[in-house]
Chain A
């Protein structure tokens, strides 16, 4: 809710650059999203994710398109777009790299990782490298604290990070080396990820494991000790994921 205090008001909003990629096909998809809901306006958040997947940010043309489809004013759409931190007014790189610096991750090493990455990439918070590849941002708790310190690339988990593994990760991303999330899929681009958030699946749900070590910590212990809920377990004896 960046607009409260200093964060958003001191940033200029880029106006149209005249190269919007919103097409009739985009508008048709917006209408498709709107049709999922009993009341069309509910589609606004996914539609803005769609705008980002097409434009690489929330553009004035994207805002106007949402407004047209939902019969709202541009100002109404803008007021919503500026409220949410995932919507970006400035172009985002191919890879959005987040470092959790909420308290738990911060003390476990997130602060040092974030400092190291700023130096290594020569960018500040919410800035993009010159080659347009990486946008670095510090994040609030991403619901993965049992894997602290946590990083996210295009909203995929990277667990138990160190300054060394973090710099290696961003180097790999910049070099175009294939990168996989330890609890997710092969990393796609930020725009492709935004399209999934708009509600268009990319067929990668079956990649990756059921969970990591921490997810399974209690269950593994229960299996070892033969502990179950009353009535037993229907899964204790069957083949397991490795």
Chain B
């Protein structure tokens, strides 16, 4: 049985200047790269596959299998693209990881690129995080200067170039095929699949796209072995991962634990829901994962556990909302986000999110009716599964789940002729008196 918290990715974050190469190397950094370069690329892929690592960007696809899909007999260059766009509301794990220890990612990039025999790797990072970009740029430069990136890396004969690429503000560019279009200098709109990126990705060449945390997990797996990794976690959800607690919790932040920990345990570690309040609703993995309630405190936070209660593990972005928060206000705000971020390529999402916002605005003002709830559900049904990409599906998650759990609260808005909540009460600066 592993300890309750198992810092691996976060283990060096309290070290002096942990973002620098010298600090990272003092913590054993780049030992895994030396080990990997002494292995056959196919054995590196096999190790990652055996570890049971699943993608940490939301969907949980097995990482080693994704690497195996790269057709090595394809004569075109192969590419690795790291998805560092982190923009799913509530998600805040990749950014602190890259800030504190960019070399963990860079080492993972070099190993993963070697495994799939990529000639170049791109780290596509959202543009709105200046200091993280500085540290990534510096880490890549330090690695180049140390001969860890470039030609004949550490005498292995393997050549690799790594480019840090800043995006420009668009949630949809986190969707992997939209990201490819964006990285090719176009508007970020999703591509039709098949062909899948493994066959025809960046510039039409075989491409692996992985989340930051997925790639950052690779050095530890290579260094300690597949069995070490799979000794943590649950049967089908292996390893440790970053859980991000935010909102109405005493000590919000990053908690690295084996997959399968529960929200009850995490809240306990984080000092509980803010004092004097109780849990009302939460997201297990960002706003695109259906809302859960206090009823779900003991659900194992792994892919299967969260799936079994009708939601998704997603990005493990645990946004905690207490009883001071109006669920209608919360859902309206997320829906406005999806409307704004809809890329406009397909009708159900482009038009649907627009209508959803119109109706929710009316509901929040207390000007709606029971029928509006049916219209919302009907619209959601028409968006879900009929949209070109998962952004449209995600847009319906807060709506359908909130109506399922909190229908009475929607109704209270009509009865009250407006929102019955005091917006001051949910703030961090609410005083006891002001929240009355």
* A173 contacts B by Cβ under 8 Å: no
Kindly report which residue of chain B lies nearest to residue A77, judged by CB atoms. Answer: B185
* A120 contacts B by Cβ under 8 Å: no
Task: Name the contact of B128 in the complex, choosing from A86, A149, A206 (C-beta under 8 A).
Answer: A86
In the complex with contacts A210-B13, A235-B12, A102-B337 CB distance below 8 A: yes
* A25 contacts B by Cβ under 8 Å: no
Among B36-44, B89-97, B293-301, B406-414, the one that faces the other chain is: B89-97
Do residues B128 and A155 form an inter-chain contact, with CB atoms below 8 A? yes
* A68 contacts B by Cβ under 8 Å: no
For the complex, give the distance between the alpha carbons of A75 and B247 in Å: 43
* A176 contacts B by Cβ under 8 Å: no
Q: Which of A1-52 contact B (CB under 8 A)?
A: 1-5, 7, 36-39, 41-46, 48-49
On chain A, the residues within 8 Å of B11 by CB distance are 219, 228-229, 233-235
Do residues A46 and B428 form an inter-chain contact, with CB atoms below 8 A? no
Among B103-111, B146-154, B238-246, the one that faces the other chain is: B238-246
Do residues B342 and A1 form an inter-chain contact, with CB atoms below 8 A? yes
For the complex, give the distance between the alpha carbons of A235 and B10 in Å: 10
Among B48-56, B165-173, B380-388, the one that faces the other chain is: B165-173
For the complex, give the distance between the alpha carbons of A103 and B96 in Å: 20
In the complex with contacts A143-B91, A211-B99, A219-B342 CB distance below 8 A: no
- 0/1 interface trace, chain A 204-235, chain B, CB 8 Å (1 if under): 11111011011111111111010111110111
Q: What's the minimum C-beta distance from B314 to chain A, rounded to whole angstroms? A: 14
Kindly report which residue of chain B lies nearest to residue A211, judged by CB atoms. Answer: B100
On chain B, the residues within 8 Å of A218 by CB distance are 5, 7, 10, 243, 253-257, 269
Do residues B169 and A46 form an inter-chain contact, with CB atoms below 8 A? no
Contact-residue size bin, chain B (C-beta under 8 Å from the other chain): 35 or more
Kindly report which residue of chain A lies nearest to residue B421, judged by CB atoms. Answer: A107
* A132 contacts B by Cβ under 8 Å: no
* B277 contacts A by Cβ under 8 Å: no
On chain B, the residues within 8 Å of A163 by CB distance are 429
Among A3, A98, A104, A140, the one with the most B-chain Cβ atoms within 10 Å of its Cβ is A104
Q: Is the interface of A mostly helix, strand, loop or mixed?
A: loop
On chain B, the residues within 8 Å of A92 by CB distance are none
Do residues B131 and A206 form an inter-chain contact, with CB atoms below 8 A? no
On chain A, the residues within 8 Å of B340 by CB distance are 1-2, 7, 140
Contact-residue size bin, chain A (C-beta under 8 Å from the other chain): 35 or more
* B199 contacts A by Cβ under 8 Å: no
In the complex with contacts A1-B340, A4-B342, A86-B168, A141-B89 CB distance below 8 A: yes
For the complex, give the distance between the alpha carbons of A234 and B12 in Å: 8
For the complex, give the distance between the alpha carbons of A240 and B245 in Å: 24
Task: Name the contact of B92 in the complex, choosing from A146, A181, A193, A199 (C-beta under 8 A).
Answer: A146
Task: Name the contact of A41 in the complex, choosing from B5, B185, B244 (C-beta under 8 A).
Answer: B185
Among B59-67, B327-335, B365-373, the one that faces the other chain is: B327-335
* A238 contacts B by Cβ under 8 Å: yes
Residues of A bordering B, CB below 8 Å: 1-5, 7, 36-39, 41-46, 48-49, 70, 79-80, 83-87, 98, 101-104, 106-109, 111-112, 139-149, 152, 154-157, 160, 162-163, 181, 183-185, 193, 196-199, 201-202, 204-208, 210-211, 213-223, 225, 227-231, 233-235, 238-241
| Complex A-B: 21 CB contacts under 8 Å | A36-B163, A80-B187, A87-B168, A98-B128, A107-B330, A108-B426, A109-B427, A141-B91, A146-B246, A157-B129, A204-B134, A205-B131, A205-B138, A208-B131, A211-B13, A218-B257, A222-B7, A225-B4, A227-B5, A231-B228, A238-B26
